[in-house]
Amino acid sequence: MPGLESNFAAAVRQHQAMVFSIALHFLHDHAFAEELSQEVFLHLHKNLKAIQSPSHLVYWLRKVTTHRCIDQARRQRLRPRVSLTEYLERAPEPAMTGPTADPILAGFLQKLIASLPKRSRIIVILRYQEDLEPSEIAETLDLPLGTVKSSLHRSLALLRGKLERERKGVPR
Amino acid sequence: MNEFDKDLRQALRRTDPPVGFVDRVLARTHPQPVHIPLKWIGIAIAACLLLAAGRFEYRQYEGRKAKRELLFALELAGSKLNIAQQKIFELNRRTIHD
């Protein structure tokens, strides 16, 4: 992609939120997320010649980030498990929620998502953070479309069930 | 889009990394060559030489100690043999006289 080498800083600035957020929502740890995001951009810096277009850059960054997230989780087995009661006892992380969001609900959902199995977690993140269609998720993760669809269906049912149970158990 | 989908999108909104992220990435793309002061190189060489000399001296000491112990053991074995030999002579002499 012409000009990417000279505009590397601009590319990092433009895509930092996407890469960092995928890592943060997946790993649920700011330090790990920043480290992983830096490594993704360093990897990009070494492979600038492989990038063909702006859309290819986005695709490439998503693909590398998601694969690195899964590798990292495999190494560290980061799967926090938390109940709403437990979550309510802690302060929500303000950086992860927007000003209009219900911070408790958003924080709880983030932790529920972080407790999903690796593959299901990344599928949910790509669907709801990146707004990708199941076919695009399948292409990014090198998975069959059916697997993505069924995993997404199962994960959403699980998340919805957990949320309902917690809502019934703890008055909000 | 239902309420649950909206909640999920809200929970998974994009977030900017901590301030200075771009600078930190750029800094890592140009790694600075590590300058080790000459003084530390001198200290490291001196420490290596000292360690080597110490090791050599220790091995010499161990060798001398082993040699001393061997000589002592041989001496001890020799004196024991002498005693045994004297006893055998004594017994032989008594047997002949009897």
Tokens of B58: 């220790």
Under DSSP, the state recorded for B24 is: H
pLDDT at B53: 94
Residue recorded with tokens 């001890």: B76
The answer to whether A69 touches A22, Cβ cutoff 8 Å, is yes
The whole-number average pLDDT for the span A119-145 is 95
pLDDT at A81: 47
Q: For residue A94, is pLDDT > 50? A: no
Q: A31-77: per-residue pLDDT in tens?
A: 999 999 999 999 999 999 889 899 999 999 999 999 999 998 888 76
Residues sharing a CB contact under 8 Å with residue A55, sequence separation 6 or more, in sequence order: none
Q: B4 in contact with A at a CB cutoff of 8 Å?
A: yes
Query: Which residues on A lie below 8 Å from B9 (Cβ)?
Result: 128-129, 131
The whole-number average pLDDT for the span A161-165 is 87
Q: A150 in contact with B at a CB cutoff of 8 Å?
A: no
Residue of A nearest to B4 (CA): A160
Q: Name the pTM for this structure.
A: 0.66
The answer to whether A84 touches A159, Cβ cutoff 8 Å, is no
pLDDT at A140: 94
Nearest to B10 among A38, A106, A159 (CB): A106
The answer to whether A41 touches A65, Cβ cutoff 8 Å, is no
Over chain B (98 residues), what is each successive 10-residue block's mean pLDDT?
86 93 92 78 94 94 94 93 92 86
Query: ∠ CA B65-B67-B73 to the nearest 5 degrees?
Result: 105
Q: Do A16 and B16 touch (CB under 8 A)?
A: yes
Interface of A with B in 52-91 (CB under 8 A): none
Chain A: give the shortest CA distance to residue B33, in Å: 17
The answer to whether A67 touches A118, Cβ cutoff 8 Å, is no
Q: A97 in contact with B at a CB cutoff of 8 Å?
A: yes
Query: Which residues on B lie below 8 Å from A33 (Cβ)?
Result: 17
ipTM above 0.85?
no
pLDDT at A154: 95
